């Protein structure tokens, strides 16, 4: 089965912990992982997990970008880490994984300059590029943000940003009529059947994941992973790093 997860925000270990839960506690084999954005593409955290600690994922991981990545360094970080530790699925591209044809569209609608850097914003040309793809060439759409107009509620305090989701998603739905459309970003579970499409929104990576099997059978798995309190040693080392930062600049 394909495991879908979203919004790890640099807590890469959560991917392995959710894989282990699926395989060991639920006895469900996982073939690969598709991460739906806010993976945590930041130089210090990537270096710490993959290089300094020699970390790796238990299964192949594919990801699309969210709105919380280091877009200034994104291309250079992809040259170093992409196709080595994980695989980046770029925007408006179809990739076949486990027999399904996935259309990937990372990024999100614009909110403000802090939460949505310019490079993260989904623009008209991304939608246009998607619509150039043959209507029968896509089985499942995967995005970080949801499409506008499907009723995903705003989080408390974010109502000022207006309707959730990015514009022109309805054009993609009409063009491709996908069986599934899976997204993250909003940190809440969401499910809707509309036309021929089942929309599925994932909560944060600490709250669970989704599993996709044959014939588009997709189920939500609630599995909460609590935050671990840092040890005294960890706190002391963090304090020393603040006083005398010596992290790598790789």
Q: What is the pLDDT of residues 199-231, one digit of tens each?
A: 999 999 999 999 999 999 999 999 999 987 766
Per-domain residue ranges for the chain?
Answer: 2-243
Percentage of the chain beyond pLDDT 90 is: 84
What is the predicted pLDDT for the residue at 230?
67
Whether the model pTM is above 0.75? yes
pLDDT tens-digit readout, 19-59: 999 999 999 999 999 999 999 999 999 999 999 999 999 99
pLDDT tens-digit readout, 104-157: 999 999 888 888 999 999 999 999 999 999 999 999 999 999 999 999 998 777
Would you state the structure tokens that stand for residue 228, as one six-digit string? 């671990």
Rounded Cα–Cα distance for residues 218 and 127 (Å) = 26
Of 236, 11, 231, 10, the closest CA to residue 244 belongs to 236
- Three-class secondary structure of residue 45 per DSSP: helix
Question: Can you state the percent helix, strand and coil of the chain, rounding each to 5?
Answer: 25, 25, 50
- The CATH class that applies to domain 2-243 reads alpha beta
Sign of CA dihedral 193, 194, 198, 204: negative
Eight-state DSSP code of residue 43: H
Other C-beta atoms closer than 10 Å to the C-beta of 127 total 19
For residue 222, which phi and psi values (nearest 5 degrees)?
-85, 115
| Phi-psi map region of 45: left, alpha, beta (phi>0 left; psi -120 to 50 alpha) | alpha
Length of the chain: 250
Lay out the sheet containing 32-35: strands in order across. Answer: 87-88, 61-63, 32-35, 2-5, 208-212, 218-222
């Amino acid at each position: 089965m394909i495991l879908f997860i979203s919004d790890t925000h640099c807590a890469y270990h959560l991917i392995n912990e959710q894989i282990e839960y699926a395989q060991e506690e639920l006895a469900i084999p996982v073939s690969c992982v598709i991460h739906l954005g806010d993976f945590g593409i930041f130089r210090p955290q990537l270096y710490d997990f993959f290089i300094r600690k020699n970390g790796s994922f238990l299964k192949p991981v594919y990801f699309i970008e969210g709105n919380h990545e280091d877009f200034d360094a994104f291309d250079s970080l992809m040259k170093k880490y992409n196709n080595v530790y994980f695989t980046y699925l770029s925007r408006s591209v179809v990739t076949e994984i486990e027999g399904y044809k996935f259309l990937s569209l990372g990024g999100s609608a614009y909110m403000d300059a802090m939460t949505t850097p310019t490079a993260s914003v989904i623009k008209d040309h991304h939608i246009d590029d998607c619509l150039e793809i043959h209507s029968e060439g896509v089985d499942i759409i995967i995005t970080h943000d949801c499409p506008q107009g499907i009723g995903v509620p705003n989080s408390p305090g974010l109502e000022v940003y207006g309707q959730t989701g990015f514009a022109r998603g309805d054009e993609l739905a009409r063009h491709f009529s996908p069986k599934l459309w899976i997204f993250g970003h909003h940190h809440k579970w969401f499910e809707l059947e509309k036309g021929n499409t089942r929309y599925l929104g994932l909560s944060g990576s600490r709250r669970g994941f989704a599993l996709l099997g044959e014939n588009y059978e997709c189920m939500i798995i609630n599995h909460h992973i609590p935050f671990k309190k840092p040890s005294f040693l960890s706190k002391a080392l963090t304090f020393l790093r603040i006083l005398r930062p010596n992290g790598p600049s790789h």
